[in-house]
A and B are shown apart, each in its own frame.
Chain A
Amino acid sequence: MTSPPRERVVVKATRQRRSLRPGWPGARELTEQTARGEQYVAHLMRTQLRIALWTVLVCALICVAAPLLLRAGRLWEACMLGLPIAWLPVVGGLPAACAIAGIWLHRRVRRVEDEFRREVERG
């Protein structure tokens, strides 16, 4: 610890999606950081990180594979509206794939968070 902690409350409390009274058995385990509480959080973070890594990995694979496939197929010569068709997957497909991956990720993570919330309620 190099310096005394300095708290800056920059952004105030967030709006709550569901009203949950404090004092759920599971919530206390979390705030007091018991072994079980730590396990809860570690599991939650691992799941979220896994989802994020999968999403990014799939997109990275598409990014690397698409141009190589195109190059192998010799599609450069075909044109539509004066633009080579081969560019379409790169400029249209990749961002679209990213957006779809983003939607999928959002849904998965949300489901994981709801599951976590229920588990804490049960205690």
Chain B
Amino acid sequence: MTALSAGLYSVLSGLAALGGALRRRSGRAPARPVSPLVHASSIGAEHVSIAVLMGSAGTMLTGGVSVIWMSVGVAAGHLLLVAFAVAPLRRSGAYTLSDFAEWRLRSRSLRRLVTACVTITGCLYLMPQLRGAGLTLRVLLGTPVWTGALATAAFAYLAVVMGVNRRSTAVQAGQYWVKLAVFVVPAVLLLGVAHGRQAAAHTVAGGAWASVVPYGGPAAHYTLYSLLLGMLLGTMGLPNLIGRFHMCADGAAARRTGVLVLGLVSVFTVLPLVIGTLARGHAPQLGVHGHDDLLVLRLPVLMVPGPSGELLTGLLVAGALAAFLTAATGLTFTLAVTIAQCAFGGGVGGFRFGAALAATVAFLGCAYAGSLSTAALAAVAFGVAAATLSPMLLLGLWWRRFTDAGCAAGLVIGLTGTVGPALWKLFGTLPGGLAGALLAMPAACTAPLAFVAMVVVSLATPARIPLDAGSHLIRMHVPEGVLTPTPDR
């Protein structure tokens, strides 16, 4: 029954996408600007991370409510993006982060380093998507996690290489609203069901579990604030978000779209809290299985036995699966573009190679890093982005005396400071106590460190300031229509 409803939903959404694509081909002009709301919904559809949301709902079962800061961090990170990055980046005209680095700092070798950072961050962020899809398929079909992950990686590769993901903005925008309905309707219905009942095994309110601020020593507090900082800065550094704003007409429109995306993403923040709490109160047996955090997808069946529960679970499963596939495809696409531009002169062969590389590395990482939850995997990726790409973006956009040497120093420090502990966390066991907490969530130390390194080394190498730094800053910050003659009027 669950499989049936999930399949039915998938077929329906597939038909809707096809219909949208056909309508687009037959009707409208291709380069027509879309309305900010439609555009914002389409960005939101790709960027509402179900890996973070459902993963933290699952982690909440055993870990307590303080995981909620993860999704709050993502929402607040969008504010940072709007405040500092969106408009000047749109005006710069750079499509990827490595384009931006080379254009702003005039260095090919820096481009290679930034491409390496983007690839590492992207592969790490692809891992929770693959793992989430594998877990979702296990809930649905009972297959092992790795087969589901492999199937998803293969799907993402094929979709990118065959150009399936070049769907129109309107279709993606529709996906956002479908996703909203698919997750929010079951949550609201279950909340209604739960209202009439007494919470079964655990009491939800009161105690350490319900505390938003973690109980415990400095290690717990450090972990919380480091997680929050990592999500905040990491959202800005995520490589797949930047290129999306180029469909906006100008910098101001990009900023407006960014504000709308912020609103749309915020709506989803409530979701993990509702689902996690309901699971804690009414289906505590879900938490026993440790890291299988997406078992919360089975919550409706456990709360409402019978066909209606199966139907709701089917809805949740299909929505989660669609979200994971969208995110995996979008990420693979960004990585393929970035790798091809750097190593193969932008050719088609390089694009295919990049897609294959990203999918393979992410699948292998996901298959061998067994013990981490989906949400923890996502947090690792955000942490790496926070300590490398995010400081580069901030300084590159706003600081005239930024140099390629400074940028490279910061990137290397940020990479070693986050990727080393991340690998240790993925493939080994971290020590306990404060040292373990530092290694598990290094973002709060490494992000400021990378920032300081960039500033100090840039100040020490004033001869390397690009000659056109001033004109680049003018291009990024002076509003449109002041400098350039209007091309289309």
Bound-state CA distance A112–B393 (Å) is 23
Give the residue name and chain of the A residue nearest to B100 (CB): A10
Q: Tell me how far the C-beta of B158 lies from the nearest C-beta in chain A, rounded to whole angstroms.
A: 26
- Mostly helix, strand, loop or mixed at chain A's interface? helix
Interface string of A17-36 (1 = CB under 8 A from B): 11111101011001101000
**Which residue of chain B lies nearest to A54 when distances are taken between CB atoms in the complex?**
B83
Establish whether residues A83 and B204, one from each chain, have CB atoms under 8 Å apart when the complex forms: yes
Given contact pairs A14-B480, A76-B211, A83-B277, A19 touches B486 in the complex (Cβ within 8 A): yes
Contacts of B205 on A, CB cut-off 8 Å?
76-79, 84
Interface residues of A in 60-89 (CB under 8 A from B): 63, 67-68, 70-71, 76-79, 81-84, 86-87
Tell me which of A10, A14, A27 has the highest count of chain B C-beta atoms within 10 A of its own C-beta: A14
B255 touches A71 (CB 8 A): no
Q: Are B75 and A15 in contact (CB under 8 A)?
A: no
- Cβ of B301 under 8 Å from chain A: no
Q: How far is the CA of A103 from the CA of B398 in the complex (A)?
A: 21
Stretch at the interface among B169-177, B263-271, B370-378: B263-271
In the bound complex, residues from chain A placing their C-beta under 8 Å from that of B91 are 14
Chain B residues positioned under 8 Å from A48 (CB to CB):
477
State in angstroms the CA–CA spacing of A101 and B82 once bound together: 10
Chain A's closest residue to B79 (CB) is A98
CB atoms of B93 and A92 under 8 A apart: no
Cα of A14 to Cα of B93 in the assembled complex, Å? 9
| Contacts known (A71-B213, A81-B191, A87-B212); A17 close to B489, Cβ less than 8 A | no
> For the complex, would chain B's binding face be called helix, strand, loop or mixed by DSSP majority?
helix
B103 within 8 A of partner (CB)? yes
Q: Is B80 an interface residue (CB 8 A)?
A: yes
* Contact residues on B (Cβ < 8 Å of other chain), bracket: 35 or more
A122 beta carbon closer than 8 Å to chain B: no
With A3-B108, A16-B486: A94-B398 Cβ-Cβ less than 8 Å = no
Residue of A nearest to B466 (CB): A1
Contacts of B228 in A (CB 8 A): 63
**Of B135-143, B244-252, B285-293, B431-439, which stretch is located at the interface?**
B244-252
Q: Which of A16, A91, A95 contacts B489 (CB 8 A)?
A: A16
B197 to A, closest residue via Cβ: A82
Known: A1-B106, A95-B266. A120 touches B212 (CB 8 A): no
With A76-B210, A102-B259, A106-B256 in contact, do A83 and B274 touch (Cβ < 8 Å)?
yes
Distance of A105 Cα from B82 Cα, bound (Å)? 9
Contact indicator per residue, chain B 91-120, by CB within 8 Å of chain A (1) or not (0): 101110001001100111100000000000
Check B252–A8 contact: CB distance below 8 A: no
Shortest distance between the CB of A31 and any CB in chain B (Å): 6
Which of A11, A17, A71 interacts with B252 by CB under 8 Å? Answer: A17
Measured in the bound complex, the distance between the Cα atoms of B488 and A121 in whole Å is 21
Q: How far is the CA of A101 from the CA of B258 in the complex (A)?
A: 12
Nearest residue in A to B212 (C-beta to C-beta)? A67
B189 near A: Cβ within 8 Å? no
Any A CB within 8 A of the CB of B30 = no
Of B99, B477, B482, the contact of A8 (CB 8 Å cutoff): B99
Instruction: Please name 15 pairs of A and B residues whose Cβ atoms are closer than 8 Å in the assembled complex, sorted by A.
Output: A2-B106, A13-B487, A15-B488, A19-B489, A30-B474, A30-B483, A41-B478, A55-B79, A79-B205, A81-B194, A83-B274, A84-B205, A95-B72, A95-B269, A113-B252
In addition to A8-B102, A17-B480, 16 A-B residue pairs with Cβ atoms within 8 Å of each other are A3-B109, A16-B481, A16-B487, A17-B252, A27-B483, A41-B478, A44-B477, A77-B206, A81-B195, A82-B199, A83-B273, A90-B72, A95-B266, A105-B82, A106-B255, A110-B255
Q: Residues of B at under 8 Å CB distance from A?
A: 33, 65, 68, 71-72, 75-76, 78-80, 82-84, 87, 90-91, 93-95, 99, 102-103, 106-109, 191, 194-195, 199, 204-207, 210-213, 228, 246, 249-252, 255-256, 258-259, 262-263, 265-266, 269-270, 273-274, 277-278, 281, 398, 404, 466-468, 470-471, 473-474, 477-489
The residues of A with any CB-CB pair to B shorter than 8 Å are: 1-3, 5-6, 8-11, 13-22, 24, 26-27, 30-31, 33, 38, 41, 44-45, 48-49, 51-52, 55-56, 59, 63, 67-68, 70-71, 76-79, 81-84, 86-87, 90-92, 94-96, 98-99, 101-103, 105-106, 109-110, 113-114, 116-117, 120
